[in-house]
Chain A
């Protein structure tokens, strides 16, 4: 009675595996982009907080 069950299993397994792999890839992309953005914001706020370095051409006269 169980005809061509291999094809049926393959269809369902491939479909769900493809969706899980894609979702995993996108979630990793999301985490990586978020991490880079937070790192950039940290650098940016540290730069704003740090005292400005004197300009070597004017020797800090400005």
Chain B
């Protein structure tokens, strides 16, 4: 199964097709947000930030869910394939969370009059950013791959706990951040149809973008693992043929067990 999944991920036509789809969706979204979407009567034009900000926030949740899910699958199967998925998704989660915070600030300055406030939604999102940044730091500090994978599952699960908190923070605490307009209390969306269409397009665009980035990042990680194994087998070959010259090199062998890679 892993070989088939790896083959799908490493398929260049799939990546090219996804990149083309993402580009078209991105252009449509940008044009739609500027030209098609109605101007908000209270917030003015800056409200259009919503069409990228909210879909990116949803993709943060998705990326965090993938980090936690793939981490748990790694613990269950001990196959490094799942760890590759988890660490790739964590990097993309940092990117999406950063952009959610930045675009939120750019919206907050004209609407709230401040770049930042310690509001529950903003604070829990910042905590989420720290969790995924910490995840990546942990990966780079722990050298041994299997140990790094095991430890980072815990951090990934911590992120998964924070995600629902981010989502319900606007209901649990009194916040400046607007309440949900898609899943409003009445059950029906509080947005007019044209805004809802663009919001849907935004979600589709960000989903395609997330999938594309994950696909390319996973390809890099799989290739890196293969490179490490090739370096290791090269070293063994040299050891066999020229043992006297490579005695010292043997200590520098990378710690990687080839058995559990896809």
Could you list which residues of chain A lie within 8 angstroms of chain B, going by C-beta atoms?
A: 1-5, 7-8, 10-12, 14-16, 18-19, 22-23, 26-27, 29-30, 33-34, 36-37, 40-41, 43-44, 47-48, 52-53, 56-57
Please determine whether A40 and B227 come into contact, CB atoms closer than 8 angstroms: yes
Which of chain A's residues has its CB closest to B212's CB? A23
- Is the pair A33, B216 in contact by a Cβ cutoff of 8 Å? no
CB-CB under 8 A from A15, the residues of chain B are: 52, 56, 99, 102-103
Contact A19 B107 (CB under 8 A): no
Contact status of A14 and B230, CB under 8 A, knowing A23-B216, A30-B220: no
Q: A39 vs B155: C-alpha distance in the bound complex, in angstroms?
A: 37
Is B234 in contact with chain A by the CB < 8 A criterion? Answer: yes
Residues of A close to B87: CB separation below 8 A: none
How far apart are the CA atoms of A19 and B227 in the complex, in Å? 27
Interface size bracket, B side: 35 or more
Q: Which of B41-49, B116-124, B251-259 lies on the face that meets chain A?
A: B41-49
Query: CB within 8 Å of A: which of B221-254?
Result: 223-224, 226-227, 230-231, 233-234, 237-238, 241-242, 244
**How many pairs, one residue from A and one from B, have CB atoms within 8 Å of each other in the complex?**
100
- Please measure, in the bound complex, the distance between the C-alpha atom of A8 and the C-alpha atom of B39, giving whole angstroms: 12
* B241 partner, pick from A12, A19, A36, A53, beta carbons under 8 A: A53
Bound CA span A34–B52, Å: 34
Distance, CA A1 to CA B44, complexed state (A): 8
Residues of A within 8 A of B209 (CB): 19
Tell whether, in the assembled complex, residue A11 and residue B52 are in contact, meaning their CB atoms are under 8 Å apart: yes
CB distance from B90 to the nearest CB of A (A): 14
**In the complex, residue of chain A having the shortest beta-carbon distance to the beta carbon of B30:** A12
Assess whether B49 is in contact with A7, with CB atoms less than 8 Å apart: yes
Please name all residues of chain B whose beta carbon is closer than 8 Å to the beta carbon of A16 when the two chains form the complex: 26, 30
What's the Cα separation between A47 and B213 when bound, in Å? 37
Q: Are B99 and A18 in contact (CB under 8 A)?
A: yes
Contacts of A52 in B (CB 8 A): 241
Q: Are A4 and B44 in contact (CB under 8 A)?
A: yes
B49 A11 Cβ-Cβ under 8 A: yes
Q: List 29 A-B contacts (CB under 8 A).
A: A1-B39, A3-B45, A4-B44, A4-B45, A5-B45, A5-B46, A7-B49, A8-B34, A8-B106, A11-B49, A11-B53, A11-B102, A11-B106, A11-B107, A12-B33, A15-B52, A15-B102, A16-B26, A18-B98, A18-B99, A26-B213, A27-B216, A30-B216, A30-B220, A33-B223, A34-B223, A47-B238, A48-B237, A56-B244
